[in-house]
Structures are given as structure tokens and as C-alpha cells.
Chains A and B, each alone.
Chain A
Amino acid sequence: MTDQNIVKKEEQLVGDLLETRFLTPRGAIFSQTEGGFLSLAVDGTDYGRVKVIRAFPFTDPARYLSVRQADNEEREIGMIEDLDVFDPDTIGWITRQLEMRYFVPKILKVREIKEEYGYSYWWVETDKGTCRFTCDQNGVTKLSDTRLLISDIDGNRFELADTGGLSAKELRMVDLYM
């Protein structure tokens, strides 16, 4: 084997690891099974059940979705750069998967936040109903100056999309944890 050949083979091997395939409606055909699983076929290859993961869950949730095999290896099949280019059915299926995976109730109203011994007790109204949960000291993450992600002691997440939309009283309670 000549040096050139080795280099070529090497490049191909590394290339497989380093290159990302982008999935478009032209090659990728998604479908939803009866049991609610998402499956994918690309250019005739059937991958069976797949998972969809957001690459930028906070800053760009509808774009740069990584589609992976649902087995333990979770090998990436490809990325969706923009979900909007797919047909409405596919958008619906994928959105359903994403909403299941990223189940994060949005906080609409803060009723009460109590603090005791390093834990804060939140009583909030969310788009999924009223919730009461407990956070430890690292529970509140600032995603931006006005956007907060709140995780309770079991890792359940809640989002406060815009602190600017809160009343002065709510803001005063939340402000202590920002």
C-alpha cells in the first residue's frame, strides 16, 4: 500500500466519525408507530425506532435536532437543521417526541416561595397546573438575564421564561434566588 492509500483510508475512517449528515425531507422518511414510537428510514435504510435530541435545548429548540438510534449506543443517524422544512405530520410526531423528552412546565405565576434551611419551597402555577416543589441551593439556573430554569431536588425542571412578565411582588420573591 502506498502512503497515499493509507492517508486516504485514514481520512475516510476519521471522516465517518467527524462528519454529520443532515436529514432533509428528500431522503429521510419519519413515521410514527401505533404505540407512539418514532421511526426513521433514510435513503431506503430502515433505522427502526429513533430518538430526537435537541442540540440547543434552550437557545434554539426547533433547530439542530440530533436524531439517534434508540438502542444503548445511541449512534447519531443525522441532524435536522430546521424542523420546519418537513411535512406537518412529521413536525407533529417529532414535536410530540421532543415535548415528551423535554417536559418542562412553564411557570405562569408565582404564588409563594418559602425558604428554610437551604431549601426553597416553590408554589407556582404552570401551564401544566399548579405545582409545589422543593429546590436546593443550586436549583435556579440563569439562562439569560430574564430567563430562569428551576430544577427541583429530583431533577424535575420548570421554566420561568421571562421574569419581566412577573408582578412586582412575584419578582421580589424570585429575585432572592437569582
Chain B
Amino acid sequence: MSTTVKILFIILISLFILGLFIISLKFILEKYYPRSKKNKKQPEVQELSKEEESKEIVEEEKVEPKEEKQKEKFDFKEFVTKVRKSPTYKSFKVAVISILIGILLGFLIMVITKPSSSLEGLKRLFIGGFRSKRSIGDVLADAVPIMLTGLAFAFASKTGLFNIGASGQFIVGAVFALYAARLLTLPPVIHWLVCVLAGVLAGAIWGAIPGILKAFFNVSEVIGTIMMNYIGIYLVSIMAVYPPVFDSLYNRIAINHPTAWTPVIGLDKIFGGSKIDIGIFIAIIVAILIFFILKKTTLGYQLKAVGYSSTASKAAGINNKKNIITSMAIAGGLAGLGGVFAYLAKSPLFLSGMSSVPPQGFEGMSVALLANSHPIGIIFTSVFISYLKNSAETLQIVGYNREIASVIIASIIFMAALSKIISIVLDKGFFKKLFKKKPKEEEQLEVKDNV
């Protein structure tokens, strides 16, 4: 019994921490970033709530101007009501509920398939990623590629382009970086920089091709990027067996090129021998950079204008074709950078001939969609997904396949699509009714007494 109680306690605490984390995250996001596309349909509700809010504030001010001593208290109250009425708070609630439902679904599947170890499984799912310094480092390291492919998807979608090709751009970037690593001889850091540049350029070209086809020949970017994915993996298969780079012993591209390894700057020691390297910092910086490009620069403005309405932007004198190509090239470069970090690390993924499209591009889509295509949000969602996956690795011991992580991620994404229902339920005060039944009865009683 005591162990079950312990486990439940741990679950509660971790849920609480998770909730806090998400709430604070959303707070920061929404404060610095105005409401985005998804919530466009709710302006009426927001306006109403704002009106109500202001009314209430006015009332409060009318009633309590005399009691100046208690002003601090009222300020606090006001703050609380403000927060509770604000649309931001509502979207936290929605996000938290989505994640909880997603995890609950995962738990349900675990209970159905193997009830005996389901609680142990849930515990591992929550705290598995924190089991050691090393695993924390690995979570961060694994977040890098999907963060960058997520950015690749999000960036193109700002221009109204649907980039399914992040996988191809990712893998082509990786193979060219590896070629630069194997075939060039340069001093340590410079060599690495050259490799990064090669990877980014290759990815950018791979992304730009469907962009060019879209801009000049009206070839849908959906079909273009899908085709480029496959052309990419077969190109990689051909390039991988080229003798100077090929390691026939392990049947993959050789990796003993220490001058081109991504610098670890002692991070591996901090994180107990994890595979983390400088990539996580660069990825975060890149995400912030993308945020500023989209938000503050003319280029970003033009790209978004093309995304909102190509005819309007054309009328405003924006060169649509140039912007489509630029957007795809930058997206490709981002995905290519992801490939560089995944395959050029000191303990990298191994590149050999491949017959199926690598999953990182599609994971990037999940990452981007969970963050509503917001660059800063992508930093957190990629770490979150990476954490879930890392935790799920520890589930194998208690008899669950690690794919449960993807099931949970899928449920959370689907809940994001259903967020409208959740917010309707919240608006109708479903939970309030659930919890505040008793007071109402008391009120009724009082009324009866008065009568």
C-alpha cells in the first residue's frame, strides 16, 4: 500500500510541477506575443470578458474607496480576477487540460494493455527523464534536431507554405556536413564551422528547389517537398557508400573526424557523460533569432504578408516569388542545421543507406504544431517531447514499448485541435458547477428560511 501511495504522491507532485511549468511558459509567451491565428475566432468572448472585467473593477472602486488601508489586499484580488478573466489564463487552462488528457489517455492504454505495472509505468513516464544528470543532458541534446526541424516547418508555414520536406532537408544537410568533415583537413573549430556551413547550405538548396518550383512553375509545395524527401534519401544512400567516407566495417559513414565534432565545451562533464554539446545553445539562439526576424524585420513582415494573402501582398509591391523561395530556403537551412547537429556530434546518429524518410521532419511538425508555430514556444515543446521520449525509454523495463511516448504526444496534439471544446466547457463553468454544488443548496436553504 505504502508504495502505491508514494507513487500517487509523486504523480501528483510531478503533475503540479508540469502544470506550473506550462502555466509560466504560456504566461511569458502570451505577454510578449499577441494572440495568434488559432484564437482569432474568439474576439467576441474576449471583448465581453474585458467589459465584464472593467465593470467589476469600476464597481469595486465605487464600493471600497474609503477603506484605504486594505488597498493592497484589493489590488491582489483585482490582480487575481484580472488573471482569471484574461484570455491568457484560459489558454493555460486549455493547454494544461490538453496535456493532462493526453497523459491520461496514455495511462489508460497502459492500464488496458498491462494493468499490473501501469502505475510503475506512469511514474517512470513522469520522472524517468530526471533519473540522472546524464539523462537530463540527453533530453536537451535530443531536443536539438527536432527543435530545428520544428522551426523549419513553422517558418515556412508563416509564409503559408506547407513544408513536409524537413526530413529531406535534414538528411541532405547531414550528409553534406559529413562529407565536409571527412574530406577536408582544417584546424579544429574552423573545420567544424565549415561543416556547419556546408550542411546549412545543402539544406537551404534542398528547401529552395521546391520553393522555386512553386514560385515559377506553380508546382504545389506539398508534392515538391514530398518528392524532394525521397530524392534526398536515395541521394544520401548513394553518397553514403562513396569509398573515402564509407566505413565498411560498420556499414556507415565513418565518424572519426575529431576536428569537426561539435564542441562540447565541458558540458558533457557537467551532465555526467551525456551526449549534450553546444548545439542546444545554438538551437535556442537560432529560435530567438527566427522570432526576431519574423517579428521585427522587413523580411519577416513580407514573408508573413505573403502568407496572409498573396494577392494583397502583391498589390502592396511585395515580390511573392522571391519571398516564397527565401522562406523555403531559410526553412531548409534550419532543417539542414538540425541534421548537422544530429550527425556531427561526438556521439552522433549514424548515417548509412536508407529506404524510408527519416522521422525527425515529422517530429518537427508535431513540435511546431504544439507550439502553434511560435519560435520561442518551439524551444519548450521540443524539450517536452524529447523528455517524454527519453522517459519512455525507461518503460521497456516494466514491459511497455517506448512508442507510448508517441501515443501520448499524438493525443496531446489532437487535444490541441479539440481545444475549442475544452474552452467551451470551461466557459460554461462545467467545473465550477461540479465543485460548487453545496453552496448553492445552502443559499436555497437560506432563501427558504427568509421566506
Indicate whether A and B interact. Answer: no
